[in-house]
Structure 1
Amino acid sequence: MAVNAYGLTVVSSVQEYRQRVAAHPERELVELTSLIPDLVLDIRYATPHNLLGEPAYTQARAFLRKPAAEALQRVQEALRLLGLGLCVYDAYRPYAVTVRFFEHVRNEDFAAPPWRGSRHNRGCSVDVGLVEHTTGRHLPLPTEYDEMTPEAHSRFNQLPPHILFNRSVLLAAMKRQGFINYPNEWWHYDYQRWADFDLLNLPFEDLVSE
């Protein structure tokens, strides 16, 4: 495989992706709503309500590699016992979108640089919040999704007790299933085995045709 201008190997061919999945089935990108039907999606990058101010995706869908998707399913099952559920803001993200984000933000604290790529590009990161399971109502958390402020940091504690509690519930549920929080963003979690998976630059449309 050829490397890109930044020296990274990025899978951009759906045929190559299929070959890799055939050899290693756990590399499959699983659509989350097919595995977790009661999952709430709020895919901001399919709308103008995001840091770009315009859609970055043509479809409001969410995918993760199979082991990460199954771990997220277990998180949802545990939260359901508390009357809660997950809201997913973003999951797998094509590499080209990460490049676009970095060119817009120019801040490595909030956007992965193109010379490194994002764990989202590996299908191993997910951005999540909490909702009431029966109503889908969003629980209050420290900030809006993708807000680039100190309050978004996971260790920022000058917040009302109920918001700190909600954040701790989310953190504990995700941690128990092998997800690691990125400390600059309360919503961002990396699956612990992210390094085992390739960077991808496949649009959602190619994955849907699988």
Structure 2
Amino acid sequence: MLIDAQPDMQVVGEAADGGAAVDLIERLADRVGPGDVILMDVRMPVLDGVAATRAIRARRGPASPQVLVLTTFDLDEYVHAALHAGASGFLLKDARPEDLLGAVRAVARGDAVVAPSATRRLLDAFAGRLPVGGDTGPSGPDPLAALTDREREVLVEIARGATNAEIAATLYMAEGTVKTHIGRLLTKLEARDRVALVLVAHRAGLLT
């Protein structure tokens, strides 16, 4: 009801469990793609949401819809497993309606969304082990040394959880320019995705 009430959203299918979700995405292959979003539960019969996400991403590859995982369980293993399986977002089911809708739109645009309650623990768990290329120990070179001032500004906004559109508005640039800067950040910092950029920024102390 919440999604169908939005003028820019439409529900094109529903599945009762993870196995049915994988089959449904195959049947809807000509209708859904990277610009679409799957709202995926975690605990389900037949196939859980993490396994279903992994199967969909493996079968469809770059053509697969984005996955936003919703769960009542704020447990670290679910967050880590969902992100490793290829999910672009993780929210709790008690999220406010406006937060859920905002997350759907953000994930559809290619952004990553992680529930605020899980973000701190995610950073604590992975920041110390994140590969950013080269020697990044205390006596090693600054991993951000190769960045321009503008790229640093974009990285800070990403670390604050801003979407591409919000970064564009804050830094007074076109959204396409933001995407260009993000692409350069991913390359220079050898980061896999937006979540990895957040970890790099926090590890480098860009935010207090």
Q: TM-score, normalised by structure 1?
A: 0.26
Higher relative contact order (CA 8 A, sep 6+): 1
Q: TM-score, normalised by structure 2?
A: 0.27
User: Which has more helix, going by share of residues?
Assistant: 2
**Rg bigger for which structure?**
2
User: Which has more strand, going by share of residues?
Assistant: 1
